Amino acid sequence: MPVCWRATLYNKRMESRPAMDRRQFLAALAAQAAPDSPKADITLRISPVELEIAPRCTIQTTGYNGSAPGPVLRLREGRPVTVDVHNETPIPEIVHWHGLFVPSEVDGAEEEGTPMVPPHGSRRYTFVPRPSGTRWYHTHVSAGRNLKRATYTGQFGFLYVEPASDPGRYDAEVFLALHGWEPYLGTMGADEGTLDVIYQSFSVNSRALGYGDPIRVREGQRIMLRILNANATMLHRLALPGHKFEVVALDGNRVPAPREVELLELGPAERVDAIVTMRQPGVWILGEVDDRIRKAGLGVVVEYASRQGPAQWAEPSGARWDYTIFGRRPDTPPPDVEVVPLVFRQKFAGNRWVDHWTINGKSFPKTDPIRVQANRRYRLRFDNQSDESHPVHLHRHSFELTQFAGIATSGVVKDVVMVPARRQVEVDFVADNPGPSLFHCHMQLHMDYGFMALVEYAGSPPAAPVRHGHQG
Ligand SMILES: [Cu+2]
């Protein structure tokens, strides 16, 4: 595999089986049916892909339908959809519908009981897309130390669930997926220390900065940017000199208080929907704030009509990202039951080895399940006692931020939240989708090394135990 840019990048450490109801049973049956007629609404083919992110920089990876990212899937909220997945690779695969409220049997997590798509085999997923908003789909296998697998690959794509009615006060819509390529395990500078994932090149959609089509705009236009951080482990910060982002949704869910900001920050798996009003004619870089990462490909050019010349970049002025500015005054009533504490810790596993992770002192699959009863509202307290921040994700449900690093808030609904190092975050969720639901850090390196637990509903038997281990 070619190394596209010689400069080795510093990888910014991020400091700072259940009782089924009829509906689920039918969905499970559909999931197990061999894909045959009637024809599926959508077909996804998992196969090797050669991705030329820049001239003479070809990435060998695995993707959907011959590309990376895969096609943007536009679905209608509430209208059932069937997706046939053909796995043309030699390893079992699985597709997770990130942010959708679907049954465990089709959610796309083996730990919840979703069947795998066998090597050189197929599987049909049938579900009802909801809620509306910017969701995505991606592989949900483990990688361990094998960085040619799982979310290190090109197996990701947008899944946009169109609302029944959309005011759509914008002139154009652009989907932008951020990804890192050519990963390897290395240490930060010294030979000693814990291994981390380091990327050598980056892209927005399938191209490195300067090598794709620019986003072509006209003065006065309002452009809706739907941005996804599909990087397996890294957080990204984005700016567009001379412009502001009006953040209207986080993880696809409208925020109570849309606001203009200079800087966007997205942890792995997070999405931001932001409208930019084009009032600064020129040629600009929408890119990662970190120079090395931007120069290694993480950016895209924004070009006004009849403007030419090299794309301009300027450092944003010390803005910082804060979820709570998009929230309401705290007004969430106390939860129905006591707060569920979840303590995250790191376990040093040796020099030149990968750290292990624990939730309340145990690593998956030994982590204690988070037991819930249907239709109750729970408050989870994420207590991050480690020196890294973690993008934690809850499958099949959304949660509302109630407290972020000491700031009380309400109304911000997400499915991933970055829990800063040595800080606490509290979120509420209603247990309204019975079936095992995975809770995990979305950093591939963390989830593969223990940072995972299952939410289990009372009255439902636990998910069938599954093989889970490191393939590397
Ligand atoms: Cu993590």
Do 223 and 317 have their domain in common? yes
Q: Are residues 69 and 182 in the same domain?
A: no
For residue 148, being part of any structural domain is answered with yes
Q: Are residues 205 and 314 in the same domain?
A: yes
User: Distance from the CA of 93 to the center of ligand 1, in angstroms?
Assistant: 22
For 9-52, what is each residue's pLDDT tens digit?
433 333 333 344 545 544 544 444 444 568 999 999 999 999 99
CA of 344 to the centre of ligand 1 (A): 9
The whole-number pLDDT of residue 23 equals 53
Tell me which of 349 and 54 has the higher pLDDT: 54
224 and 243 together in one domain = yes
Assess whether 358 and 397 both reside in one domain.
yes
Residue 472's pLDDT band, with cuts at 50, 70 and 90, is very low
Q: Is the pLDDT of residue 5 over 70?
A: no
Q: How far, in Å, is the centroid of ligand 1 from the Cα of 436?
A: 21
Report whether pLDDT(464) > 80.
no
Residues 148 and 177 in one domain: no
Indicate whether 187 and 316 sit together in one domain: yes
User: In the structure, what pLDDT confidence band is assigned to residue 349 with cuts at 50, 70 and 90?
Assistant: confident
One domain for residues 344 and 371:
yes
What's the CA gap between 255 and 232, in Å, rounded? 26
Looking up residue 372, the CATH number of its domain turns out to be 2.60.40.420
Lookup: tokens for 175: 């989907």
Q: What per-residue confidence (pLDDT) applies to 352?
A: 84
Do residues 162 and 130 make contact, with C-beta atoms less than 8 angstroms apart?
no
**Is 465 within a domain?**
no
Both 73 and 202 in a single domain?
no
| pLDDT score of 462 more than 70 | no
Residue 17's pLDDT is 34
Cβ neighbours around 56 below 10 Å, total: 7
Q: Are residues 180 and 135 in the same domain?
A: no
What number is the average pLDDT over the span 443-459? 96
Kindly tell me if the per-residue pLDDT of 265 is higher than 90: yes
pLDDT confidence band for 227 (50 / 70 / 90): very high
> Do residues 185 and 158 both lie within one domain?
no
Please give all residues whose CB falls under 5 A of ion ligand 1, grouped by chain where several chains appear.
390, 441, 443, 446
Q: Which two tokens stand for residue 420?
A: 């800063």
Please give the mean pLDDT across all residues of the chain.
Answer: 91
Average pLDDT of the segment spanning 59-82: 97
- Count: domains in the chain: 3
| Ligand 1 center from residue 376 Cα (angstroms) | 27
Percent of the chain scoring above 70 in pLDDT: 88
Dist. CA 443 → ligand 1 center (Å): 5
Pick the more confident residue, 57 or 165: 57
Domain boundary pick from 137, 162, 187 = 162
Position 471 in a domain: no
State yes or no: pLDDT of 3 exceeds 60. no
Specify burial of residue 174 (Cβ count, 10 A radius: 0-12, 13-18, 19+). Answer: middle
Rounded to the nearest whole angstrom, what is the distance from the C-alpha of residue 341 to the centroid of ligand 1?
17
Check whether 286 has a pLDDT greater than 90. yes
- The alpha carbon of 144 and the centre of ligand 1 are apart by a number of angstroms equal to 14
The answer to whether 266 and 238 have CB atoms below 8 angstroms apart is yes
Structural domain ending residue among the three candidates 162, 196, 218: 162
Q: Give whole-number Cα distances, 29 to 24, 105, 117, 153, 227, in Å.
A: 9, 9, 15, 30, 34
Residue 397 lies in a domain: yes
Domain end position, chosen among 162, 187, 215 = 162
- The pLDDT confidence band at residue 164, using thresholds 50, 70 and 90, is confident
Residue 355 belongs to a domain: yes
**Centroid of ligand 1 to alpha carbon of 139 (angstroms):** 18
CA of 220 to the centre of ligand 1 (A): 41
Asked if the model's pLDDT at residue 380 lies above 50, the reply is: yes
378 domain-assigned: yes
Q: Within a domain: residue 329?
A: no
Q: Is the pLDDT of residue 466 over 70?
A: no
pLDDT at 37: 62
Structural domain for 281, as ranges: 172-321
Comparing 30-34, 114-118, 250-254, 327-331, the range with the smallest average pLDDT is 30-34
- Check whether residue 74 and residue 103 sit in a common domain: yes
Position 440 in a domain: yes
